[in-house]
């Protein structure tokens, strides 16, 4: 099993959800986060006080999938989240040791 | 007679003739019945005027209260960080209770009783003798009690304005004690000097240095703004200022608050005519024009300097204009009101951006930059633009209108305005310094370091403005 953690532009969330649903992935967890990579922030001015805002709002999508579908899902996700500009985000992939469905105790890929 | 007037055009002429005949016969035979009727008509006219004036003055009193809560509470509340929103709103709201009790007990008497040129006497202690009969010195057509409650609302908002300077770091108990002492030692004397009978600066009731302050440029805005600067300097900077970001947490709240201030200000300035009169209308118009021009002045200055016109700049400009037009509102024509407003917008913008950063003081919400600077500018420009074409209440013994400001050919008035400004500054600086020292020694002024970091909402009040869990 693999865990995908994708940091994407907030306005791309709906497209990503639709694309994943289109290939049968319907379980995911969404968090509103702030961060930045190479993208520069912006400047805000309040009564002459300047603030550099470099941590920008992003959305983190987390999903755990079977090893076999890793390439397919990361490609679909990246395709849906891409605008081609700096700030589109990143995808990280982790190994997952175990999973359990709390309701009935199923484990492994059956729990996904 | 009525039988002859078959054609409408003849009606008015015949009416006039009839009226003449009636008055001739009244002079010829003044029967007690006619006299009684005339007296009754006179009384009815006075009663109608009194009812109109009182309705406007009670409405104005409510409008001025609305400026403190919710107006100022929202305006200031939105400008602080999220962890201090309730404590900042509390600073405004608690004045509505605290000052009211002081006012009823001794405040009104010290401000408006007859006493020395500097402070009122004690004849209105516990509002003794302040009832439904008018006090001709302050408002001949409204109950004395109406005048009392109207003036209370000014006493409420003035210390609330100072809270912009000490927000986010003062202890609640120290704020309350400071406010009681400040109202007593700075506000009541200043209000007496400018508006109280026999006050030193009172232009219509026997002051030695007649100063024009229609609605409180010196009494409200200079005293609060200058005291705010003293508070900011005495308390010192907030922890982390200016290194840590301290952005306004909700400009939405501030915009709503500023709009309520703008509306409430009609009660503040037009109500200061103490009648539903033409002068009230003139002050209403000047107030609105001042706010509009100042909004544009601040916005344009900011646009030039920072490249973008901001919402915060627009509302700050509006408030600066309302402040500056306050002393002038019952004295100036509409076009000078635009000039005063525009000047205030630009000057106050420079105060809170260039001057504040040059000197490095932490006036949290710019109470000094807006109220101190805008109030001073407005008080001085009142001496330039005041005209008897707007305010005809100043006459010589022969009944001839006296020239008011520079535009009327009375340049000396600018010196009187300067004297009023100087007295307000000195009283605010000296009074506030002494009070801060006393409160600091007695109970300490600042919140603890951990309490300030945690936010005053939790450390002072044990609650949060925004609870995401519930």
Domain residue extents for chain A: 2-111
The answer to whether position B87 is within a domain reads: yes
- 3.10.20.590, 3.40.640.10, 3.30.70.120, 3.40.50.300: CATH of A2-111: 3.30.70.120
A43 at interface of B, judged by CB pairs closer than 8 A: no
Residues of B in contact with A41 (CB under 8 A): none
A105 at interface of B, judged by CB pairs closer than 8 A: no
d(CA B349, CA B117): 36
The answer to whether position B54 is within a domain reads: no
Residues of A in contact with B305 (CB under 8 A): 48
Is residue B38's pLDDT more than 70? yes
Percentage with pLDDT > 70 across chain B: 93
Q: Give the chain B residue nearest A47 (alpha carbons).
A: B353
Measure in Å the smallest separation between the Cα of B245 and chain A Cα atoms.
7
A55 at interface of B, judged by CB pairs closer than 8 A: no
pLDDT band for B5, please (50, 70, 90 cuts). very low
Q: Give the chain A residue nearest B365 (alpha carbons).
A: A47
pLDDT at A37: 80
A32 at interface of B, judged by CB pairs closer than 8 A: no
pLDDT band for B9, please (50, 70, 90 cuts). very low
Count of the separate structural domains present in chain B:
1
Q: Which of A44, A48, A53 best tests the B interface by mutation, with the highest count of B CBs <10 A?
A: A48
Per residue in B394-426, pLDDT (tens digit) is 999 899 999 999 999 999 999 999 999 999 999
Please name the member of B306, B356, B357 whose beta carbon is closest to the beta carbon of A45: B306
Is residue B465's pLDDT more than 80? yes
The answer to whether position B108 is within a domain reads: yes
The answer to whether position B11 is within a domain reads: no
Domain that includes residue B155, residue range? 62-461
The answer to whether position B244 is within a domain reads: yes
pTM: 0.86
Measure in Å the smallest separation between the Cα of A68 and chain B Cα atoms.
39
Q: Give the chain A residue nearest B370 (alpha carbons).
A: A47
d(CA B335, CA B390): 12
The answer to whether position B41 is within a domain reads: no
d(CA B365, CA B253): 14
Looking at residues B444-448, what average pLDDT do you find?
A: 97
Q: Residue-wise over B320-349: b if at least 16 C-beta within 10 A, else e?
A: bbbbbbbbbbbbbbeebbbbbbbbbbbbbb
Please name the member of B242, B245, B310 whose beta carbon is closest to the beta carbon of A45: B310
Q: Which strand (E) or helix (H) includes residue A32?
A: strand A29-35
Q: Which residues make beta-bridge pairs with B468?
A: none
Distances from the Cα of B347 to the Cα of A6, B295, B311, angstroms: 50, 12, 18
Q: Is the dihedral of CA B86, B88, B91, B92 positive or negative?
A: negative
Q: Which of B240, B310, B468 best tests the A interface by mutation, with the highest count of A CBs <10 A?
A: B310
pLDDT at A39: 74
Measure in Å the smallest separation between the Cα of B365 and chain A Cα atoms.
10
Which of B91-100, B118-127, B171-180, B355-364 shows the lowest mean pLDDT across its residues?
Answer: B355-364
Distances from the Cα of B433 to the Cα of B172, B188, B225, B405, angstroms: 18, 17, 14, 34
Please name the member of B245, B308, B366 whose beta carbon is closest to the beta carbon of A47: B366
Which of B20-29, B109-118, B213-222, B360-369 shows the lowest mean pLDDT across its residues?
Answer: B20-29
Q: Give the chain B residue nearest A44 (alpha carbons).
A: B247
Helix, coil or strand: residue A30: strand
Per the CB < 8 A criterion, the answer to whether B196 and B135 are in contact is: no
Measure in Å the smallest separation between the Cα of B353 and chain A Cα atoms.
5
pLDDT at B6: 40
Residues of A in contact with B354 (CB under 8 A): 48
Mean pLDDT, chain B, whole residue set? 93
Is residue B137's pLDDT more than 50? yes
Highest mean pLDDT among A16-30, B16-30, B52-66, B201-215: B52-66
- Integer-rounded Cα Rg, in Å, for chain B is 25
pLDDT band for B467, please (50, 70, 90 cuts). confident
Measure in Å the smallest separation between the Cα of A51 and chain B Cα atoms.
7
Please name the member of B245, B308, B312 whose beta carbon is closest to the beta carbon of A47: B312
Is residue B196's pLDDT more than 60? yes
Selection from B433, B288, B294, B287 nearest residue B351 by Cα: B294
Measure in Å the smallest separation between the Cα of B351 and chain A Cα atoms.
10
Per residue in B245-267, pLDDT (tens digit) is 899 999 999 999 999 999 999 99
Distances from the Cα of A64 to the Cα of A18, A22, A76, A108, angstroms: 17, 17, 15, 11
Q: Give the chain A residue nearest B352 (alpha carbons).
A: A47
Selection from B323, B317, B387, B318 nearest residue B353 by Cα: B317
Is residue B19's pLDDT more than 70? no
Measure in Å the smallest separation between the Cα of B222 and chain A Cα atoms.
21
Please name the member of B245, B308, B352 whose beta carbon is closest to the beta carbon of A47: B352
Q: Which of A42, A47, A55 best tests the B interface by mutation, with the highest count of B CBs <10 A?
A: A47
pLDDT at B22: 53
Per residue in B41-68, pLDDT (tens digit) is 999 999 999 999 999 999 999 999 999 9
Q: Give the chain B residue nearest A49 (alpha carbons).
A: B353
Please name the member of B247, B305, B357 whose beta carbon is closest to the beta carbon of A46: B247
Task: For residue B146, give the CATH number of its domain.
Answer: 1.10.3430.10
pLDDT band for B11, please (50, 70, 90 cuts). very low
* Paired tokens of A74: 């990361």
Measure in Å the smallest separation between the Cα of B166 and chain A Cα atoms.
17
- Classify the complex by whether its ipTM is higher than 0.90, answering yes or no: no
pLDDT at A55: 87
Q: Do B247 and A45 touch (CB under 8 A)?
A: no
Is residue B23's pLDDT more than 60? no
Pairing of strands A49-53, A29-35: unpaired
A44 at interface of B, judged by CB pairs closer than 8 A: yes
Percentage with pLDDT > 90 across chain B: 89
Looking at residues B312-321, what average pLDDT do you find?
A: 98
Residues of B in contact with A47 (CB under 8 A): 312-313, 316, 352-353, 366
pLDDT at B296: 98
Per-residue pLDDT of chain A (112 residues; tens, 9 = 90+): 999 999 999 999 999 999 999 999 978 999 999 988 877 778 889 998 888 888 889 999 999 999 999 999 999 999 999 999 888 999 999 999 999 999 999 999 999 8
pLDDT at B470: 65
pLDDT at A30: 94
């Amino acid at each position: 099993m693999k865990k995908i953690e994708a940091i994407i532009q907030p306005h791309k969330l709906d497209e990503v959800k639709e694309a994943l649903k289109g290939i049968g992935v319907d379980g995911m967890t969404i968090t509103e986060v702030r961060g930045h990579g190479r993208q520069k922030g912006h400047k805000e001015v309040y009564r002459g006080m300047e603030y550099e805002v470099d941590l920008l709002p992003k959305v983190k999508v987390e999903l755990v999938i079977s090893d076999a579908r890793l390439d397919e899902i990361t490609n679909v996700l990246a395709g849906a989240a891409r605008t081609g500009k700096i700030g589109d985000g990143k995808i990280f992939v982790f190994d997952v040791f175990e999973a359990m469905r709390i309701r009935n105790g199923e484990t492994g890929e059956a729990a996904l | 007679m009525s039988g002859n007037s078959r054609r409408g055009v003849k009606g008015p002429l015949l009416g006039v003739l009839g009226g003449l005949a009636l008055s001739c016969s009244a002079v010829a035979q003044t029967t007690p019945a006619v006299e009684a009727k005339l007296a009754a008509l006179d009384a009815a006219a006075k009663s109608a005027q009194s009812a109109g004036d009182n309705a406007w003055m009670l409405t104005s009193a409510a409008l001025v209260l609305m400026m403190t809560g919710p107006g100022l509470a929202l305006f200031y509340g939105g400008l602080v960080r999220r962890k201090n929103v309730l404590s900042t709103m509390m600073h405004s709201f608690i004045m509505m209770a605290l000052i009211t009790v002081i006012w009823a007990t001794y405040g009104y008497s010290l401000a408006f009783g007859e006493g020395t040129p500097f402070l009122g006497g004690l004849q209105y202690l516990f509002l003794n003798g302040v009832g439904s009969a008018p006090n001709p010195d302050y408002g001949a057509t409204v109950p004395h009690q109406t005048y009392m409650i109207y003036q209370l609302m000014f006493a409420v908002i003035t210390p609330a304005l100072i809270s912009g300077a000490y927000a986010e770091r003062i202890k609640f108990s120290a704020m309350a004690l400071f406010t009681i002492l400040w109202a007593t030692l700075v506000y009541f004397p200043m209000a007496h000097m400018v508006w109280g009978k026999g006050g030193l600066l009172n232009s219509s009731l026997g002051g030695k240095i007649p100063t024009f302050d229609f609605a409180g440029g010196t009494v409200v805005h200079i005293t609060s703004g200058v005291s705010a600067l003293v508070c900011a300097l005495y308390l010192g900077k907030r922890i982390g200022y200016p290194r840590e970001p301290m952005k306004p947490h909700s400009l939405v709240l501030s915009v709503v608050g500023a709009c309520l201030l703008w509306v409430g200000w009609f009660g503040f300035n037009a109500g200061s005519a103490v009648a539903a009169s033409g002068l009230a209308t003139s002050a209403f118009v000047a107030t609105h024009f001042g706010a509009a021009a100042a909004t544009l002045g601040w916005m344009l200055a900011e646009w030039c300097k920072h490249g973008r016109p901001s919402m915060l700049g627009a509302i700050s400009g509006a408030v600066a204009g309302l402040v500056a037009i306050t002393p002038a509102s019952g004295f100036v024509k509409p076009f000078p009101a635009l000039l005063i407003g525009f000047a205030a917008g630009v000057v106050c913008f420079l105060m809170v951006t260039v001057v504040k950063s040059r000197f490095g003081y932490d006036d949290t919400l710019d109470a000094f930059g807006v109220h101190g600077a805008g109030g001073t500018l407005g008080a001085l420009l009142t001496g330039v633009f005041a005209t008897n074409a707007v305010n005809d209440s100043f006459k010589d013994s022969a009944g001839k209108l006296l020239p008011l400001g520079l535009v009327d050919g009375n340049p000396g008035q600018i010196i009187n305005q300067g004297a009023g400004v100087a007295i307000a500054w000195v009283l605010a600086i000296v009074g506030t310094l002494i009070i801060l020292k006393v409160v600091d020694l007695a109970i300490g002024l600042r919140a603890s370091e951990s309490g300030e970091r945690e936010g005053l909402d939790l450390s002072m009040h044990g609650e949060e403005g925004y609870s995401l869990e519930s």
